[in-house]
Amino acid sequence: MSFQITLQPGGQTFEAASDQTILEAALQAGLLLPYSCRDGACGACKGKVLSGELDRGLYSEGALSPADRDAGYALFCRARACSDLMLEARNVTRAGDIPVKKLPCRVQKLELAAPDVMIIELKLPASEAFQFRAGQYIDILLADGQRRSFSIANAPHDAGRLELHVRRIDGGRFTGHVFEGMKEKEILRFEGPLGSFWLREDSQRPIVLVAGGTGFAPIKGMVEHAIHVGLQRPITLYWGARNAAGVYMDTLARDWAAMLSGFRYIPVLSEAKDEAWDGRRGLVHEAVLADFADLSGHEVYVCGAPAMVDAARQAFVGTRGLPEGAFHADAFTFANAAS
C-alpha cells in the first residue's frame, strides 16, 4: 500500500510505500530532505507531522526527545507512513545533478595520524567520474551487505581520490581490519556521495565550524573547498578532542589561517589535565558559547558524536538565536545506535 506525502511549506508531494521510510521515499522521488546518519541518532532529518498517522520506528532519544514527540515531531529516516501525511520539512531541495554511484576503489595509502586514527587514501577508477559536495560521506560496502559510513575529508576539486579518517572502535569489525589487516592495494567497494551535510555557498552569513574528534574529516573538506573557490566569508573553526593527540592535523588547521582570509582556528581539549597545554579547555560547544553571545546572523556546521551534536543544537538554537535552518549537522554513529 502507498500513501501520499505532502511537504510544507514547499508543497512538494510524493508517494511512500508502507515498508519505506519517509526519507527513502523522498530520495526515490528526487527530493533531498536534510539527513545524515539514517539511523535515528543524529536528528538531522527531524520534522513535524501536521496531519496523518505514522510509525516513528526505532530511534535515539537524544535525537527525538519525548517533548519533541509530544509536539508532533518525527525522524524521517526512521518513520513510515500509516496514512496520507502532511509534513513540515525544512531545507527541502530537488536532487541535483550529482548521481549516487556504487564504485570499486583501491587503498592507495594508510597513515596512522594518532594512536586511534587512521587516514585512508582511496584511489578511484580513472574511467568513472565521481562527484560530491564538500562535507558529504560514503558508505563502504562490506561483503555480507553491511555498510560503514565515513565522511569524505578532501575537497571536491581533488576528486580522483577519497580521503577517510577512521577512528578505531573497540570490537569494530571494519575498523579492526583497518588497523590490523588492511594493506595498500586492497580493493573496496563504496556507495556515494550521501548526506545533506555540505557547505552552502549561496549564503553570505559568517560560518562557525565545530568538529569533535574525527568529525574534523568533513570540516577539512569544507575548508579546503573554501580555500579553492576563494570564499570571502569569515570562518571560525573549533576542533574538540580529549587530548592533544586527538587534534591530529593541528598543524594543517593552523596553516589555513594564512590561506584563507578571515579564518580562525581554535582547538579545545576536554581532558588535558596532565599535558603542557596552554590552549582552550572544556567541551567544544561550550567554547563556542563563550565566544558568541549571538549566533542569529551565522551559519553553523557541526560534526561529531550524537551527544555533542545534540548539545550544540540545543544551545546554539535555544540560547544564542541561531535559526534552525542555519544549523547543519552530521552525527557519527556506530553499528545501530537507535533504540
Q: What is the pLDDT of residues 176-230, one digit of tens each?
A: 999 999 999 999 999 999 988 999 998 999 999 999 999 999 999 999 999 999 9
Residues 99 and 10: their CA atoms lie apart, in Å, by 23
Judged against a pLDDT cut of 70, whether residue 63 lies above it is answered with: yes
- Selected from 2.40.50.140, 3.30.70.260, 3.20.20.10, 3.40.50.80, the CATH number assigned to the domain covering 207-331 reads 3.40.50.80
pLDDT tens, 102-129? 999 999 999 999 999 999 999 999 888 8
Which H helix or E strand runs over 209?
Answer: strand 207-212
Half-sphere exposure of 269 (CA within 13 A, CB side): 17
Q: What is the percentage of the chain residues whose pLDDT exceeds 90?
A: 73
pTM for the full predicted model: 0.83
What is the pLDDT at residue 42?
Answer: 77
Give me the numbers of helices (H) and strands (E) for the chain, helices first please: 7, 21
Domain spans of the chain?
2-94, 101-194, 207-331
Does residue 143 contact residue 177 with C-beta atoms inside 8 Å?
no
Label residue 339 by pLDDT band (50, 70, 90).
very low
Q: What is the phi/psi pair of residue 37, to 5°?
A: -75, -25
What is the pLDDT at residue 247?
Answer: 97
CATH class of 101-194: mainly beta
pLDDT tens, 236-263? 999 999 999 999 999 999 999 999 999 9
Judged against a pLDDT cut of 60, whether residue 337 lies above it is answered with: no
pLDDT tens, 13-31? 999 999 999 999 998 888 8
2-94: CATH topology is: Ubiquitin-like (UB roll) (3.10.20)
Q: What is the dihedral of CA 39, 289, 212, 151, to 10 degrees?
A: 60
Does residue 123 contact residue 161 with C-beta atoms inside 8 Å?
yes
Nearest to 245 by CA among 111, 116, 110, 109: 116
C-alpha cell at 79: 518513520
Residues 174 and 194: their CA atoms lie apart, in Å, by 19
pLDDT tens, 130-188? 999 999 999 999 999 899 999 999 999 987 899 999 999 988 889 999 999 999 999 99
Does residue 159 contact residue 124 with C-beta atoms inside 8 Å?
yes
What is the pLDDT at residue 97?
Answer: 65
**What number is the average pLDDT over the span 289-297?**
98
Burial class, 228, CB count within 10 angstroms (exposed 0-12 / middle 13-18 / buried 19+): middle
Q: What is the phi/psi pair of residue 237, to 5°?
A: -110, 125
What is the pLDDT at residue 336?
Answer: 41
Nearest to 332 by CA among 314, 312, 306, 300: 306
Q: What is the mean pLDDT of the chain?
A: 92
